[in-house]
């Protein structure tokens, strides 16, 4: 039961981090976490966490305008883009 609670707390924290202050990013990131995050590998989850450290203007460019992200983040960015097309 404690492990389940820790997972719920971790998910809540992650969803909070997805709240960026712009409706577009909030929707893209929150939807991705709710629908796909549990299916990601540990490496992909780590890269998603790294993605969340990105400043909003750059994140918007990557997710909304097809600007090329760094190679390490490209696969997770592409998953988010694909899911939201």
Q: Is 70 a residue whose pLDDT tops 70?
A: yes
Q: Is 32 a residue whose pLDDT tops 80?
A: yes
Average pLDDT, the chain: 93
Mean pLDDT of 22-45: 96
* Residues in CB range of 18: below 8 A, 6 or more apart: 25, 26, 29, 30, 32, 33, 52
CATH for 2-83 (1.10.150.250, 1.10.10.10, 3.40.225.10, 3.40.830.10): 1.10.150.250
Sequence spans of domains, the chain? 2-83
Mean pLDDT of 69-77: 98
């Amino acid at each position: 039961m404690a492990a389940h609670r820790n997972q719920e707390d971790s998910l809540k924290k992650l969803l909070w981090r997805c709240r960026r202050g712009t409706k577009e990013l909030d929707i893209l990131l929150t939807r991705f976490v709710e629908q796909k995050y549990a299916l990601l590998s540990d490496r992909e989850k780590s890269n998603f966490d790294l993605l969340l450290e990105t400043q909003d203007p750059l994140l918007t460019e990557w997710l909304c305008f097809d600007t090329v992200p760094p190679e390490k983040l490209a696969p997770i960015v592409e998953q988010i883009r694909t899911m939201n097309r």
